[in-house]
Amino acid sequence: MPTQRRLTVLRAIVEDYVATREPVGSKTLAERHGLNVSSATIRNDMAALEEEGLITAPHTSAGRIPTDRGYRLFVDRLSEIKPLSAAERGAIRTLLEGVDDIDDVMSRSVRLLSQLTHQAALIQYPVSSSASVRSVDVVGLSESVVLLVLVTSAGSVSQRTVHLTGARSAERERPDWELARQALRAAVLDLPLSLAAVRAREAAAQPPVRGTEWLPPLALALGELCESFSTSKIALSGTANLARATEDFASSITPVLEAFEEQVVLMKLLAEMSTDEKDVEVRIGRENDGALRETAVVLSHYGVPSAQDGALGVIGPTRMDYSTSMSAVRAVARYVTRILNSHE
């Protein structure tokens, strides 16, 4: 384990490299950080840090940069997470408070997190566990196209356009959308979402009576909407921040961008990571698998009583401002928890 002075040198190297993206030399450290020791002593400390695998020389330059192990030790030794400024806290309150729709909360939160950290941000929707069907609405857009809207007791809203191709012929009457609304509500209203999905699919499987040929496709679509709330999904923002950090990736950024596009890797990551007692978890470099092995991930969870915990966080290069990212992730997670719980 490095001595306290060498830990101070490591911290200074991390901070300078994150700020400048330039390898850090002993002279620079002596001038900028007031370490009260000579450049020769700092060089000796740097040599010891390099021997322990905490810093490395990227080329023949006298400067050094942190390794994944160096970043990890730096994060583990952070004595405090830098608090957000009053302006940043105000921006969170302004953007998130007073928002009712779950999709709006998710999209605003992930955009805000990306703006605060200048990283790519992601947020996992909460998976409803005890929420029920609050409302079902049917809006006829034409004689064969209908908008189906589902609202849950947790305030989540989902909708789908359904094309009733073949459900009407010249001999059949124009669909009665009020009758459709009543039939679907009778099947699922106030039921838990999992049971509502079953009942809707049962209704879809029943042979329709004359004049209700529209019911099976509408009931099938309603069942799929109910089921969608038991399947986690992710909202993303700030992918362009990754694209601008191409030079921070030793090999290629393409696998990282593909992981964001396909989302399977992200879902696996969120399933594996669990927050510690500080409410924020950080994975650095090779602590991540596959496509994310050159990234740093900062993640926190938010809690909703009627759902499994959701997660949010940022992904970027290992040359990340960890203190700011951890602070922003934790703060936004707490605001999201407060907002969603206020609607329970």
> Cα 63 to chain center, whole Å?
35
Intrachain domains 86-125+232-342 and 133-228 with the same fold: no
CA angle centred on 302, ends 296 and 305, rounded to 5°:
155
What pLDDT, on the 0 to 100 scale, is given for residue 276?
52
- Tell me whether strands 133-140 and 145-152 are parallel, antiparallel or unpaired: antiparallel
- Give me the tens of pLDDT residue by residue for the chain, a chain 344 residues long: 678 889 999 999 999 999 999 999 988 888 888 788 888 899 899 999 999 999 999 876 678 999 999 999 999 988 667 777 888 888 888 877 777 677 888 899 999 999 999 999 999 887 665 678 999 999 988 878 899 999 988 777 888 999 887 544 434 456 788 888 999 999 999 988 878 888 898 888 888 777 678 888 999 999 988 887 766 788 999 999 988 888 888 777 888 888 888 787 888 888 777 655 557 899 999 999 888 999 999 999 887 654 556 889 999 999 999 999 999 999 999 888 888 777 55
Helix (H) or strand (E) holding 31: helix 26-33
pTM: 0.72
CATH architecture, range 133-228: 2-Layer Sandwich (3.30)
What CATH class does 4-76 carry?
mainly alpha
What pLDDT, on the 0 to 100 scale, is given for residue 339?
81
For the domain bounded by 86-125+232-342, which CATH number is listed? 3.30.450.40
Nearest to 283 by CA among 339, 2, 293: 293
What pLDDT, on the 0 to 100 scale, is given for residue 99?
74
Domains of the chain by residue range: 4-76, 86-125+232-342, 133-228
Nearest to 332 by CA among 104, 92, 94: 92
Name the residue type at position 132: S
What pLDDT, on the 0 to 100 scale, is given for residue 170?
39
Helix (H) or strand (E) holding 61: none
